[in-house]
Amino acid sequence: MIEKPINNRAWLLVLPVLIFVLFSALLPMMTVVNYSVQDSMGANNFFWNGDAWFRAVLDPTTDIGARFADALIRNLAFSFTALLIQVPLGIAVALCLPRKGWAVGPCLVIIALPMLIPWNVVGTIWQIFARADIGLFGAAINWLGIPFNDTQDPISAWCTIVIIDVWHWTPLVILLSYAGLRAIPDAFYQAARIDAASRWAVFINIELPKLQKVLVIAVLLRFMQTFMIYTEPFVVTGGGPGSATTFLSIDLVKIALGQVDLGNAAAMSLIYNLITITLCYIFYTIMTQLDRRRDA
């Protein structure tokens, strides 16, 4: 790999991005930091509270800490389930898509449709669609003999959210993988054919490595979005029944706006954000290191 030339004037090219992102990122972030280290006696009267909020959130024996730990585990379980279904399914569907011909355009449009529906509409659709009495999905599952009720039964509710997410976002993985697959030159397949490589060998040795860069984007984006999921559970289950689908974002909004407990909410959101960043950093480093090792 050729070394990139060192040129610090490249900062000038990055500057516009920095301005636009900092404008929206810095002040809101600092506001949250402020709340996280202060306490209020009401009437905009704040005083320094040190790290007390952080300690409370991180200590699972306190009320708030237990809540945070529960929501975190629930959310991690949800994110990994969703990713484990979406990534293989997305790649599989991308492999099934026609490579050329009239069907490509219509197929791509249909596949992309779920992603282009505003999030609260997605919630609205599934609110009715999943109902056992008047919705096709709920009725069909019950008809198969599986008891299903997404507002009463925690397992049903949890599965419903996973299914919504799979329906809603697998298309992202499909589109990215499909584009990645289409970029592989025919010469690779011809070489594989000469070697009489099996379908599986072609997938492992040619297609998967070539998909790596698009898959980094797909996996990271999907992880971030599932880890911050808010609208769908909020509209469909409202975080219930009980707290079965109370993921981190939902819990935070309940604490911040429902109970107006700004200190705890702010400390919690900073810890939450740090966890997201750390996990993404690990993913990102592993996946880009693999890339570099192959290049070397």
Partner 1 sequence: MKRGPIPKTIASKKESRLRSGLFPKVALIVYLLLLMLPIYWLINLSLRPNEDIMSHMALWPHHPTLEKYFFILNDPTWVHAFGVSLTYVMINTIISVTVALPAAYAFNRYSFIGDKHLFFWLLTNLMAPASVYAMPFFNLYYAVGLFDTVWAVALAHCLFNVPLAVWILEGFIGGVPREIDEAAAIDGYSFPHFFVRIFLPLIANGIGVTAFFCFMFSWVEQLLATTLTATNALPFAAVMTRSYSASGMDWTLLAAAGVLTMIPGAVVIWFVRNHIAKGFALGRV
Contact status, residue 231 vs residue 123, Cβ threshold 8 Å: yes
Minimal distance, residue 281 CB to partner 1, in Å: 7
Minimal distance, residue 153 CB to partner 1, in Å: 20
- Contact call for residue 286 and partner 1 (CB under 8 A): no
- Which region, judged by CB under 8 A, interacts with partner 1, from 47-55, 64-72, 78-86, 119-127? 119-127
**Residues in region 89-118 near partner 1 by CB under 8 A:** 92-93, 95-97, 99-100, 104-105, 107-118
**Residues in region 156-185 near partner 1 by CB under 8 A:** 167, 171, 175, 178-185
Q: Convert 248-278 to b/e letters by CB count within 10 Å (16 or more is b).
A: bbbbbebbbeeeeebbbbbbbbbbbeeebee
Look-up: residue for tokens 């960043």? 277
Residue number with CB closer to partner 1 (125 or 244): 125
Binding mask 217-246 for partner 1 (x = CB under 8 A): x--xx--x--xx-xx---------------
Minimal distance, residue 51 CB to partner 1, in Å: 19
Distance CA 202, CA 192 (A): 7
Distance CA 47, CA 40 (A): 6
Minimal distance, residue 253 CB to partner 1, in Å: 5
| Interface with partner 1: number of residues (CB under 8 A) | 105
Binding mask 49-68 for partner 1 (x = CB under 8 A): --------------------
Distances from the Cα of 246 to the Cαs of 76, 163, 239, 242, in angstroms? 12, 16, 4, 8
Binding mask 13-42 for partner 1 (x = CB under 8 A): xx-xxx-xx-xxx-xxx-xx----------
Phi/psi at 264 (nearest 5 deg)?
-60, -45
For residue 278, the one-letter residue type is T
Contact status, residue 135 vs residue 211, Cβ threshold 8 Å: no
Among 11, 47, 102, 200, contact with partner 1 (rule: CB under 8 A): 11
Contact status, residue 71 vs residue 251, Cβ threshold 8 Å: yes
Distance CA 255, CA 180 (A): 42
- Contact call for residue 135 and partner 1 (CB under 8 A): yes
